[in-house]
Chain A
Amino acid sequence: MTGPHPAFHPHLVARRVAASRFVLFGTMAVLVLGFFRTQILGHSKYELQSETNRLRPIPVLAPRGLIVDRQGKILAENVPGYTVSLLPGDETSMRASLERLAPFVKLDTAGIDAVLARYRRAPYLPALVLPDASFDLVSQLEERRLIIPGLVIQPEPKRYYPDSSVIAHLIGDIGEVTEAERTQRRFAGLRLGALVGKDGLEREYDDSLRGSDGLRFVEVSALGHVVRDAGAAPTLAPVPGAMIHTTIDLDLQRYIARNFPEGHRGAVIALDPNTGAILALYSAPGFDPNAFVGGIDPDTWRRLNDNEAHPLFDRAIQARYPPGSTWKLAVAAMALKRGLVTLDTRMPIPCRGGLQYGDRYFRCWSPQGHGDLTLSEAIAQSCDVYFYQLGLKLGLSSLLEDADALGFRTSTGVDLPGEIRSDFPSGPEYYDRIYGARHWTAAVTLNLAIGQGENAQTLLNMVRFYQMLASDGRERPPYVVHPPAQSDVMLGLTESQLEGLREAMVSVVRRGTARGAAGRYAVTIAGKTGTAQNPHGPPHGWFIGFAPAEKPTIVVGAIVEFAREGPYVAPLVARVIARYLGVDTTAEPEFTLPTDTAPRPMQLLPGIEHPDTMLKVPDTTTQPPDTTHAPAP
């Protein structure tokens, strides 16, 4: 080394080289000594551990966090249970053990292979044989412990949902983490066989509920028997999951489940209009989430999936329905906000049972007609002819723009998994794309104005809209556990306009299409009926209402599929509201059919089948095929 750098004078460098060599060879010597200690001095000890006595880790399941309602009543808890598993060993001895176990735990050959497959995926963990053993079985097995090497019987907390199907869709279920899930970040680091939430709140808040599993070590002999339990290394205590407080009112939820018309499909949502807190969310038919705990048996699974009522499907957030006349409030709100009408405005053409537009005649649901109506009266009577004209006055592009701004093209963002988006055309280009430019007319506006056409909303999204009507006009996004960030979606109506709309909705219940539904309750209920045309059978019935009308504290929305025969929708909602407000419900209302049966949809464009692209539902096996098709245009 030559050069100008004085720090690199050869003598100085030689000293540093000596120091570096000292560090290098010193470290290597320490490593050699470390290995000498382990491999030569400790050889016999470690060889024994490796050959005869092996430490086996056994995961200790952490109890999942409780889920409770707003009063602290239990929605999901843990009860004691037992699991039977087999320590890993070589495959022949495991098979022998399984064959000895078979008569007690009812394992067939396929079952034995399934256990062995489980073992092959995680060869260092005990292979689960039976996730949920009864106490009797456990005592039988304990007696035969000696002839079944590697048998591990563990007390483990077992998930239990006391209210079963009443809260099924809300709470979801749990199951073993899948291979695909383990590659996701939120489940990274979980062992095979760990239990995670699969749906509902169990999935949404899995991170908090799960806790972290503990571990204990057992030492096994050469024959595979557990020789020392937890003595070899101390147990790592499991960390229980955190408790989740929901906004649900369990009493109300139970009441809804009890009163929902037997044998019908549909959903009911109740929420607090001033906070967005969901008080109840019910979908019918339900299922028993307890059946999923510890692995659902294939027969039950097939029954649930093949059932044509699709009980696993959450109709409150996973089904889109044409909103029918419940939509008319949205059109009214848009027109009021734009200052095109007041609540007393009359339309140029009075209702004579229909409206001629272009070369087509659009019917009103009432063939004899409603005559000349103000906006309030049109809402009360749900007059189609009035709203056809209001839609034309508003214009297609304003209608599409405002619907977008009011959130009719999105999901509500509720803290439940699997919520689908509501569908509404994004703009006139939508029609250009579907029908081709200039191949459609403004007549589509008429259908859109009365909640038909290319419009499919989830129940939750419609209830969210009525929440705005029932409060000061600002959106409070619905939630079950954590209130979301403030939303800037609002109706943009004045207080007097909002009051006018609420009065019109009170008339719906007093004199209009839902008259009699709540006639005898000592509370003023406001609401709107709706009927969704359904090409597969009788139409679906809607009712969304809130009360007390002067200062609402609850919004309840319900949809009942194929409800034409049953006069339940409005009375059901009224009863739920009355129950929540503590009003005497023994005075049963007289049954009234929601009578604003919509007209058969107009064939606007002969020869063009309805484009399914927009209203298509996601492909899942639990999809009911008949709920989301809109009527043909």
Chain B
Amino acid sequence: MRPPLRELDKPLVAVVVVLSTYGLATLYSAGQTDVTTFATTIWHKQVIWLVLGLGTLLAASGLSPRLLEWATPYFYGVVLVLLVMTLLGGKSPTGAPVGRSWLGIGGVRFGQPAEPAKLACIMMLGRWLATRREPPATLRELVRPTVIAFVPAVLIVLQPDLGSSLVFVAILFSMLFWAGTKPTLLLLLASPVIGLVLAVSTVVWGAWILLLLGLVLWWRPYVWEGLAVMLANAASGALALPFWKHLAPYQQSRLLTFLNPEEDPRATGWHVIQSKVAIGSGGLLGKGFTLGTQKRLAFLPAQHTDFIFSVVGEELGFVGVCIALALFAALVAILLRIARRASDPYSSLCVFGCGAMLFTHIAENIGMTVNLVPITGIPLPFFSYGGSFLLLCAASVGISLRVAWESRLSGYIEL
């Protein structure tokens, strides 16, 4: 049974409609440069994607969570096959760094399977966590969910697309958290990655190992667990250098640039500097819709995809930025509310996972435009041009609308 339109969650519908409109207007403006480029008319295509997105949203809201739960393993399997096919014969969009993120069949680009993979990962984790009576309590029990999230993530790293694969890490941790896993256990699970990052400095890394040793002794997990954690940390510390060398030069430069954009080791700092100049020159009220000078002169890099938020900052100023941030915060808060009220664990976990996924995209994409986080090139929901990702966002919202409707039917009462 499909929920009647008037029974859909009104705040969520309203926020999504406003965000989509805001995003489309920004995309239109991003194409208004002094020099006509392919981006000038790209908003035409985005309108088509929005229409398709609306269809996806309504279709997803028509699927009962039981049906989704049943179909989850098949969906996950299909997505993995697509990811492997992409690796074997993928296409890189022109002009981007060499990569294979597009699925092409017979020379036609079909989309980026990394996007549905995020949803598949959320659903698969939700299914696994929901069927258990207890939250995972030992590291051993965390192996399965970690594998579920890391298989697609590793396939995407190989494309290579480090940014998208980090989203899977965020999904994994947020859903484990929502399923009730103890924070200490999550910290132990995360410790090798933290160690990897801290290995840039031997002193810092040594301090981290000592701290971790103290924590392990304090929390007293199983002996083998404690050993495994310490070994994994030692290994990641030793692997840090080879791993760094294995990164593509553009990935290295992005990280270095984040640490010190003025040093500008590979001229990637150009992107951050230009983005900051555009945003900073926008001031409180901005230069006016479609009137951004940095954008018009094509100083902004990737202004219709990764750096679209810089256009908001330049043209609509701090006020426009705050409005957008408030809308995004409202979106995630509403999903959190729906997840809380959901009538069964699977639905709740799926909605929370979708919220966490959107939140990661929002924080990362907006944060990088003012150099709060390193550049990773993941898109901004409802703003960035791109079909696959927009459809993913629409599907997430559709599933959430359905879950909200079901909990309403079952008569949710707040305690």
**Chain A residues engaging chain B, CB cutoff 8 angstroms:** 1-8, 10-14, 16-17, 19-21, 24-25, 27-28, 30-32, 34-40, 42-43, 45-47, 49-51, 54-55, 57, 88, 120, 123-124, 182-183, 185, 188-189, 215, 233-234, 236
**Neighbouring B residues of A50 by C-beta, 8 Å:** 277-278, 280-281, 293-294
Q: Which residue of chain A lies nearest to B264 when distances are taken between CB atoms in the complex? A: A233
Given contacts A30-B372, A34-B367, contact A47 B279 (CB under 8 A): no
Query: What is the chain B residue whose CB lies nearest that of A189?
Result: B97
Q: Which residue of B lies closest to A15 (CB)?
A: B180
Cβ–Cβ contact B325 & A28, under 8 A: yes
Q: Is the CB of A20 within 8 A of B336?
A: yes
**CA–CA, A17 and B342, complex, Å:** 13
Contacting pair B343 A1 (CB below 8 A): yes
Least Cβ–Cβ distance between A629 and chain B, in angstroms: 35
Q: Which of B96, B130, B280 contacts A188 (CB 8 A)?
A: B96
Which one of B270, B299, B321, B363 contacts A35 once the chains associate, using CB atoms below 8 Å? B321
Q: Is B141 an interface residue (CB 8 A)?
A: no
List chain A residues, Cβ under 8 A from B412: 1
Which B residues form the contact surface with A (CB < 8 A)?
34-35, 92, 94-98, 130, 133-135, 177-180, 262-267, 269-270, 273, 276-284, 293-294, 297-299, 313, 317-318, 321-322, 325, 328-329, 332-333, 336, 340-345, 348, 352, 359, 363, 366-367, 370, 372, 412, 415
State the Cβ distance, A219 to closest chain B Cβ, in Å. Answer: 12
Is the CB–CB distance between B340 and A40 below 8 Å? no
Kindly identify which residue among A123, A189, A233 contacts B298, using a CB–CB cutoff of 8 Å. A123
| One of A1, A12, A24 near B180 (C-beta < 8 A) | A12
Known: A1-B342, A40-B284. A24 touches B359 (CB 8 A): yes
B366 near A31 with CB under 8 A, answer yes
Min CB–CB distance A216 → chain B (angstroms): 9
Q: A51 and B281: CB pair below 8 A?
A: yes
- Taking A16-B177, A24-B336 as given, write out 4 further A-B residue pairs in contact, using a Cβ cutoff of 8 Å, ordered by the A residue number: A6-B134, A28-B328, A124-B299, A183-B94
Contacting residues, chain A, for B281 (C-beta < 8 A): 43, 46-47, 49-51
Q: Is the pair B329, A28 in contact by a Cβ cutoff of 8 Å?
A: yes
Q: Are B262 and A233 in contact (CB under 8 A)?
A: yes
CB distance from B267 to the nearest CB of A (A): 4
Asked whether, in the complex, the Cβ of B277 is within 8 Å of the Cβ of A49, the reply is: yes
Chain B residues contacting A25 (CB-CB under 8 Å) are 329
A47 touches B325 (CB 8 A): no
Distance between Cα atoms of A2 and B348 in the complex (Å): 12
Q: Which residue of B lies closest to A57 (CB)?
A: B270
C-alpha gap A185/B278 in the complex (Å): 31
The answer on a CB contact under 8 Å between B95 and A188 is yes
* Nearest CB on A from B368, distance (A): 10
A1 near B348 with CB under 8 A, answer yes
Closest to B135 in A: A7
Q: A603–B270 Cα gap in the complex (Å)?
A: 71
Find out whether the CB atom of A39 lies under 8 angstroms from the CB atom of B280: yes
B92, B98, B270: which has the most chain A beta carbons within 10 Å? B270
Which residues of A lie under 8 Å from residue B372 when comparing CB positions?
Answer: 30-31, 34
- Which chain A residues lie closer than 8 Å to B282 at the CB level? 39, 43
CB closest chain-B residue, reference A233: B264
- CB-CB under 8 A from B333, the residues of chain A are 21, 24
Residue of A with least CB distance to B275 = A38
User: Is the Cβ of A32 less than 8 Å from the Cβ of B322?
Assistant: yes
The 3 closest A-B pairs by CB, nearest first: A46-B280, A7-B180, A50-B281
Q: Which residues of B contact A37 (CB under 8 A)?
A: 370
Task: Write out the residue numbers on chain A whose beta carbons fall within 8 Å of the beta carbon of B178.
Answer: 16, 20
Q: How far is the CA of A120 from the CA of B36 in the complex (A)?
A: 9
Contact B92 A185 (CB under 8 A): yes
Among candidates B34, B133, B332, B348, residue contacting A123 with C-beta atoms closer than 8 Å = B34
Measured between alpha carbons, how far is A14 from B202 in the docked complex, in Å? 41
What are the residues of chain A within 8 A of B313 when measuring CB–CB? 35, 38-39
Minimal Cβ-Cβ distance residue in A for B263 = A234
30 A-B contacts (beta carbon < 8 Å): A5-B133, A11-B415, A13-B340, A14-B340, A16-B178, A21-B333, A24-B359, A27-B359, A28-B329, A30-B367, A31-B367, A31-B372, A35-B322, A35-B325, A38-B276, A39-B282, A43-B282, A47-B283, A51-B281, A51-B293, A55-B273, A123-B35, A124-B299, A188-B96, A188-B97, A215-B267, A233-B264, A234-B263, A236-B264, A236-B265
Chain A residues near B270 (CB-CB < 8 A): 57, 215
B258: min CB distance to chain A, Å: 13
B94 in contact with A43 (CB, 8 Å): no
Bound Cα distance A8, B415 (Å)? 13
CB distance from B42 to the nearest CB of A (A): 17
> In the complex, A14 Cα to B352 Cα: how many Å?
13
CA distance A46 to B318 in the complex (A): 14
Return chain B residues, CB-CB under 8 Å to A16: 177-178, 180
B174 vs chain A, min Cβ distance (A): 8
Tell me the complex Cα distance, A549–B162, Å. Answer: 61
Judge whether A47 and B133 touch: CB under 8 Å.
no
Cα separation A215 to B170 with both chains bound (whole Å): 36
Complex-state Cα separation, A8 to B349, whole angstroms: 10
Q: How far is the CA of A19 from the CA of B178 in the complex (A)?
A: 10
C-alpha gap A39/B315 in the complex (Å): 11
Chain B CB within 10 A, most for which of A12, A13, A24: A24
Nearest chain A CB to B201's CB is how many angstroms away? 23
| A38 adjacent to B345 (CB under 8 Å) | no
In the complex, what residues of B have CB within 8 A of residue A5's CB? Answer: 130, 133, 345
**Given contact pairs A12-B180, A24-B336, A123-B34, A188 touches B343 in the complex (Cβ within 8 A):** no
Asked whether, in the complex, the Cβ of B317 is within 8 Å of the Cβ of A39, the reply is yes
A237 to chain B minimum Cβ distance, whole angstroms, is 10
Tell me whether B179 and A7 are in contact (CB under 8 A): yes
**A37 CA / B371 CA spacing, docked (Å):** 11
Neighbouring A residues of B276 by C-beta, 8 Å:
38, 42, 46
Docked Cα-Cα span, A39 to B321, in Å, equals 10
Given contact pairs A34-B370, A57-B270, A189-B95, A6 touches B133 in the complex (Cβ within 8 A):
yes
Contact flag A10-B279 (CB < 8 Å), given A24-B329, A31-B325, A124-B297: no
CB distance A43 to B180 under 8 Å? Answer: no
Q: In the complex, what's the smallest C-beta–C-beta distance from B205 to chain A, in angstroms?
A: 26
In the bound complex, residues from chain A placing their C-beta under 8 Å from that of B342 are 1
B133 touches A4 (CB 8 A): yes
Known: A6-B133, A28-B325, A234-B264. A1 touches B277 (CB 8 A): no
Given contacts A31-B325, A39-B318, A236-B265, contact A3 B278 (CB under 8 A): no
